Chains A and B, each alone.
Chain A
Amino acid sequence: MQKNNGRKFKAVVIGVSTGGVSALKLVLGALPADFPIPVLVVTHITPDSDDGLAILLDTLCAIRVKEADDQEPMIPGSVYLAPANYHMMVERGGTLALSIDPLVNFARPSVDVLFETAAEVYGPALIGVIMTGAGNDGSKGLSKIKSCGGMAIVQDPADAEMDAMPRSALQLLKADHIVLLVEIPPLLIRLAGVKP
C-alpha cells in the first residue's frame, strides 16, 4: 500500500522512548507549520520533567509543539506532547484527556494508552508511528490501531537508536510501512494530503 488511496486521515499518534529527543527533533522538525491534522506524541520522560522538551521542540520546529493541557481541544498544525506523569488519551469530541491511572508497561505516559484510545475514536482515520525505544510499549496499541483499520508505520529497527520498541511492534503486527527515520516526515506529509 504505497498510496493513500484517497483515504482521509484525521490524526497521527507517535510513540517513542530512548533516543526520543533527537528522533522527535528530526521528525517534527520536518513537518510544515500548516500540517493539516493534529499530531499526538508520547515519549517516556521522567515523572518530574517540566514542559521543557515541548518548549525546546517548539523553538526548533516550524509546526507548533506544546504539552497537552486538561481537556484541550486538538487543532491541526499542532503537536501535543503527553505531560510527565500523566497518561494522555483521546476523547470522541476531538479533545485530549489526561489521567493518572497506574503505570502501563512501566510507563506514565504510556504509548499503548494513547494509541488504544485514539484507535477507538479515529478507527481507520488514524496513523500510528513507533520509533526508537527500549521496552515494548506501543506494540499493543499499534496492533489495536491496525485492527481498527488504521495505518501502522514502524521505524526500521536497524535504523533505530534503540531497536526494542520497533522490533517488538513488528513481532506483533504487520506494519504498512517500515521506514528510516528520515523517511517518516515525507510519508506523513503525503498521507496527510499536504499540497506540495
Chain B
Amino acid sequence: MTSDELTDIEIKLLMEGVFQVYGHDFRDYSEASLRRRLTNWLSGSGFATLSLAQSHLLRDRALFDTLLRGITVNVSEMFRDPAFFKAIREQVVPYLKTYPFIKIWHAGCASGEEAYSMAILLLEEGLRGRFRIYATDINEEVIRKAHEGIYPLQEMQNFTRNYQHAGGTGSFSDYYTARYDHAILTPMLRENIVFAAHSLAVDADFGEMNLILCRNVMIYFKKQLKERVLGLFDSSLSPGGFLCLGTKESLDHRHISNHFEEIKPRTQIYRKRYAKK
C-alpha cells in the first residue's frame, strides 16, 4: 500500500470520528481536495500523521477548530464570473421586480463577497427595501469576516473590473472606503443581509426563497451529498424561483433536474417549474 493510499484511509477514519464527536459531516466530500487540505493542515500541525493527530483532534475542540478552518476552501471574489452577474441583472431581475418582496439565499457564502455583490446589483436595480439576503456558511470564522465586510485593498482592482464587466451602473468606489490597506464596504450594503452559520450537510432547509445561489460549493461534494443539498434547495424554493450554480456545475443527471429548467443554455441559472412533476 502506498503512503497516499494510507493517508486516504486515515482521512476516512478521522472524518468518521469528527462526525460522531462534533457533528460536522465531511464523510462525503471529494477526496482530492480533502486530501490536499488535510495534508496542508498536517504539515503545519506538528503531527507526523493524521492518525497521530486524531487522538488530540477528537478531544481538543480548539485544535479541531483549526482543522475545520483548514478543511474548507473559502476563496471568493466580488462579481466572480461577471457574465453570470450580468445574466442575473438582465434575465432574472425583471422577474424579481414583479415580486413585492424578494428572499435570497447564498449557500456557502464564504467571506461574503458574493452576497455583497448581489446587494449592490439589487440596489442599483432600484430594489432598495424590497429584498433580504440570507448568507450562510459552515465556517463560523468566515461568517464573522463576511459580517465585517472588510477586504484587502489590493483586491479592489479585480473587484472593480469584475463589477464593470458585470454591467454595474454606478461607480464601484462608491461602495467602499479605503483605510490603510483595507477596503471597508459601506454599511448600507449590509442592511439587508443576514449572515448565519448553516451546514448543507446536516442542517435543514430555509423556506420560501425566490433565488438561491450555491456556487463553487458542491464541487467539493460527492454525488450523494450533492443530491441531498439539491433536495434542500428544491424544497426551499418557491415555484418560479431561481437556482444558480457555478460556471462548471449543472443539474444534468440529478434527481431534481426535471423540476427545473435552465433559463438559457449554459447560464447555470435554473428556474423551478410551477407545476411539480
Residues of A bordering B, CB below 8 Å: 48, 67-71, 83, 85-86, 89-92, 97-102, 113, 116-117, 120-121, 123, 148
Q: How far is the CB of A77 from chain B (nearest CB, A)?
A: 21
Contacts of B59 in A (CB 8 A): none
Q: A141 CA to B218 CA in the complex, in Å?
A: 26
Task: Name the contact of B250 in the complex, choosing from A70, A83, A102 (C-beta under 8 A).
Answer: A70
Q: How far is the CB of B2 from chain A (nearest CB, A)?
A: 6
Q: Determine if B248 and A90 form an interchain contact, defined as CB atoms under 8 angstroms apart.
A: no
Q: Could you list 19 A-B pairs, sorted by A, with CB under 8 Å?
A: A69-B248, A69-B250, A70-B218, A70-B249, A71-B219, A83-B248, A85-B81, A89-B32, A92-B8, A97-B32, A97-B219, A100-B216, A100-B219, A101-B73, A102-B75, A117-B32, A120-B32, A120-B35, A123-B2
Q: Determine if A101 and B36 form an interchain contact, defined as CB atoms under 8 angstroms apart.
A: yes
Q: A121 CA to B30 CA in the complex, in Å?
A: 13
Contacts of B2 in A (CB 8 A): 123, 148
Q: Determine if B4 and A120 form an interchain contact, defined as CB atoms under 8 angstroms apart.
A: yes
Q: Determine if A48 and B36 form an interchain contact, defined as CB atoms under 8 angstroms apart.
A: no
B82 interface residue, CB < 8 Å from A?
yes
Residue interface mask B1-25, A partner, CB < 8 A = 1: 0101000100000000000000000
Q: A69 CA to B219 CA in the complex, in Å?
A: 10
B220 interface residue, CB < 8 Å from A?
yes
Contacts of A67 in B (CB 8 A): 248
Q: A113 CA to B32 CA in the complex, in Å?
A: 10
Task: Name the contact of A97 in the complex, choosing from B30, B76, B80, B247 (C-beta under 8 A).
Answer: B30
- The interface centre, meaning the residue of A48, A97, A101, A120 with most chain B CB atoms within 10 A of its CB, is A120
Q: Determine if A91 and B248 form an interchain contact, defined as CB atoms under 8 angstroms apart.
A: no
Q: How far is the CB of B32 from chain A (nearest CB, A)?
A: 4
Q: Determine if A70 and B219 form an interchain contact, defined as CB atoms under 8 angstroms apart.
A: yes
Q: A83 CA to B76 CA in the complex, in Å?
A: 16
Question: If A92-B31, A100-B216 touch, does A70 touch B73 (CB 8 Å cutoff)?
Answer: no
Q: Determine if A101 and B33 form an interchain contact, defined as CB atoms under 8 angstroms apart.
A: yes
Q: A171 CA to B82 CA in the complex, in Å?
A: 40
Q: A97 CA to B31 CA in the complex, in Å?
A: 9
Q: A185 CA to B77 CA in the complex, in Å?
A: 39
B239 interface residue, CB < 8 Å from A?
no
Contacts of B216 in A (CB 8 A): 100
Q: Determine if A91 and B30 form an interchain contact, defined as CB atoms under 8 angstroms apart.
A: yes
B223 to chain A: closest residue by CB: A71
Question: If A100-B73, A123-B2 touch, does A90 touch B32 (CB 8 Å cutoff)?
Answer: yes
Q: A70 CA to B8 CA in the complex, in Å?
A: 21
Q: Determine if A98 and B75 form an interchain contact, defined as CB atoms under 8 angstroms apart.
A: no
Contacts of B76 in A (CB 8 A): 100
Q: A120 CA to B250 CA in the complex, in Å?
A: 27
- The interface centre, meaning the residue of B30, B75, B250 with most chain A CB atoms within 10 A of its CB, is B30
Q: Determine if B248 and A86 form an interchain contact, defined as CB atoms under 8 angstroms apart.
A: yes
Contacts of B73 in A (CB 8 A): 99-101
Q: Determine if A91 and B32 form an interchain contact, defined as CB atoms under 8 angstroms apart.
A: yes
Q: A120 CA to B2 CA in the complex, in Å?
A: 9
B246 interface residue, CB < 8 Å from A?
yes
Q: How far is the CB of A184 from chain B (nearest CB, A)?
A: 26
Task: Name the contact of A98 in the complex, choosing from B81, B248, B250 (C-beta under 8 A).
Answer: B248
Q: Which residues of B (9-55) have their CB < 8 Å from a CB of A? A: 30-33, 35-36
Q: How far is the CB of A120 from chain B (nearest CB, A)?
A: 4
Q: How far is the CB of B268 from chain A (nearest CB, A)?
A: 10
B165 interface residue, CB < 8 Å from A?
yes
Q: A121 CA to B250 CA in the complex, in Å?
A: 25
Q: A67 CA to B248 CA in the complex, in Å?
A: 9
Q: How far is the CB of A104 from chain B (nearest CB, A)?
A: 10
Q: Determine if B248 and A48 form an interchain contact, defined as CB atoms under 8 angstroms apart.
A: no
Q: Which residues of B (71-104) have their CB < 8 Å from a CB of A? A: 73, 75-76, 80-82
Contacts of B30 in A (CB 8 A): 71, 91, 97
Given contacts A70-B249, A100-B73, 5 further A-B contacts (CB under 8 A): A69-B249, A70-B246, A99-B220, A116-B36, A148-B2
